[in-house]
Amino acid sequence: MHRRLRWVAGAWLAFASSGCNDLKAVVVENYPNAWDDRVGAAHAATPQTEPVQPLFDGADVERPHIPVGLSPLITGLDQPTDIQFPPGHPDMAFVAEKEGRVRVFSVAHGTGRELTRLLSLESPNGSEQGVLGLAFHPAFGARGGRLYVHHTVEAERGNAGRISVTEITVQGETWSAGTLQPVLELDQPYANHNGGQLQFGPDRMLYIGFGDGGWRNDPHGHGQNASTWLGSILRIDVDTASPQAPRDGRSYGIPADNPFLDQPTARPETWAIGLRNPWRFSFAPDGRMVVGDVGQNRHEEVSIVGAGDNMGWKIREANQCFSPKSSCRTEGLVDPIYTYDHARDGASITGGYVYTGTRIPTLTGKYVFGDFTSGRVWALDLPATVPGAAPVSALGRFEALISSFGRDARGELLLADFGGGVIYRLVAAGT
């Protein structure tokens, strides 16, 4: 086993008995500048430049196989956290780095050539803080447009930090940043479980993922509290301001069909509650939101999340009782479509995308996701109804800390290795 992967596995096993099986939190607790340069350093010293082929072991031996390879596209990154492609620019990739940078690459010829550094934000980046997510406005075009960034800003009133969703104007010809305007901000009681995903939905609304605020076991009960944004996915209109919206003076709108508007104690921006740390969500071609939610002690989950849904945390961890540990209520809670166990598969899910490309026909229409700690990648068919069980196929295990997936304009998928600083393109195995 690679030295880096041995360290991660050892850290997880060493702290399993303490109940801290959120691997990112384990690393943070013991190495404060993490997800952590110690985890990544061994791998980053010898960046991967050759195609990587999959390994199949453990529980994946028993599953159907769809082998894929990883072809390096961009190397030399420092803790990449997100990969996004601006509309109208299929050969341009924007990569977020945890410590505060957003870099712009041309990938027109199958290799990443850096064009510029768009941003270097003064962003607190200990623990799970930093620059965590990017989203381009659907109207972004040849001359540029608006880019939204999910990142951490300095703490106020003794909190661990504040999460900011910031709007940035980008010039399309020079790839330079213009005005930065905060859209909304949120106090964070701890430095982990920040969420980080931003996505514009098919309705052109901006969806924002927030974790429960940490530390572990949701000590403040945020997951089941609709009066806070923590532990929730929000839905806002960045094009039309509403007079009742926002309570902090920012200029965005509340969609008239948001599901919690008739609940006086709920925040009107809220789309769904009961999430622990939604580490990546995306929209399937049929418009449904698919979320990878990081578990606590035992289970990771993939869920389809709709308007007004309660995903159950911390009453349940995935589909198992958590608090209380038995005989918990299930009424009104939405079951995941797939779960996996820490003892067999990994300990920190990274959600992905439905594959709509052409290079790997056996993946067409399947949702691809992975695990940050084990380097495993899987694909599943989304069930027609929720709840519904989704069969999973194994794509292989790789020596990578999978922090994010990306999908380009052609529907091809990319994978970010947080430790090695590499963006890979998924290709058919053997190519």
Place of tokens 């923590």: 230
Q: Collect contacts of 89-94 with beta carbons under 8 A, ≥24 apart.
A: 89/142, 89/172, 90/408, 90/409, 90/410, 92/175, 93/406, 93/408, 93/414, 93/423, 94/118, 94/134, 94/136, 94/147
User: CB neighbours (10 Å) of residue 290?
Assistant: 22
pTM over 0.85: yes
User: Over the range 60-79, which residues count as b (16 or more CB within 10 Å of their CB) and which as e?
Assistant: beeeeebbbbbbbbbbebeb
The identity of residue 228, as a single letter, is T
Burial (CB < 10 A; 0-12, 13-18, 19+), residue 154, is exposed
**Residue 101 in tokens:** 């940078």
At the fourth CATH level, which superfamily is domain 3-428?
Answer: TolB, C-terminal domain (2.120.10.30)
The dihedral region occupied by 17, where left means phi > 0, alpha psi between -120 and 50, and beta the remainder, is alpha
In angstroms, the CA 35 to CA 404 distance is 13
Q: What is the pLDDT of residue 182?
A: 93
Place of tokens 């071609």: 285
Q: Do 423 and 73 meet the contact criterion of CB atoms below 8 Å apart?
A: yes
Q: What is the pLDDT of residue 29?
A: 37
The identity of residue 230, as a single letter, is L
Q: Counting every residue, how long is the chain?
A: 431
How distant, in Å, are the alpha carbons of 107, 131, 215, 308, 376 from that of 234? 32, 18, 21, 10, 29
In angstroms, the CA 282 to CA 284 distance is 7
Q: What is the pLDDT of residue 430?
A: 77
Give which of 264, 159, 281 is closest to 209, Cα–Cα.
Answer: 281
Say what angle helices 37-44 and 3-16 make with each other, to 10 degrees: 160
Q: What is the pLDDT of residue 249?
A: 55
Q: What is the DSSP letter of 8?
A: H
Q: What is the pLDDT of residue 110?
A: 87
**Residue 15 in tokens:** 């702290």
Sheet holding 402-407, edge to edge: 68-74, 422-428, 413-417, 402-407
Domain range summary for the chain, segments of one domain joined by + = 3-428
Q: What is the pLDDT of residue 348?
A: 98
Q: Do 311 and 302 meet the contact criterion of CB atoms below 8 Å apart?
A: no
Give which of 140, 136, 134 is closest to 88, Cα–Cα.
Answer: 140
Q: Do 336 and 328 meet the contact criterion of CB atoms below 8 Å apart?
A: no
Taking only the tens of pLDDT, the chain with its 431 residues reads: 333 333 343 333 232 223 333 444 444 333 333 333 323 333 343 456 678 999 999 999 999 999 999 999 999 999 999 999 999 999 999 999 999 999 999 999 888 999 999 999 988 899 999 999 999 999 999 999 999 999 999 876 666 889 999 999 999 989 999 989 999 999 999 999 999 999 999 999 999 999 999 999 999 999 999 999 999 999 999 998 866 555 555 579 999 999 999 999 999 999 999 999 999 999 999 999 999 999 999 999 999 999 999 999 999 999 999 999 999 999 999 999 999 999 999 999 999 999 999 999 999 999 999 999 999 999 999 998 876 677 899 999 999 999 999 999 999 999 999 999 999 999 998 77
Burial (CB < 10 A; 0-12, 13-18, 19+), residue 161, is buried
Q: What is the pLDDT of residue 223?
A: 98
Sign of CA dihedral 96, 99, 100, 104: negative
The identity of residue 145, as a single letter, is G
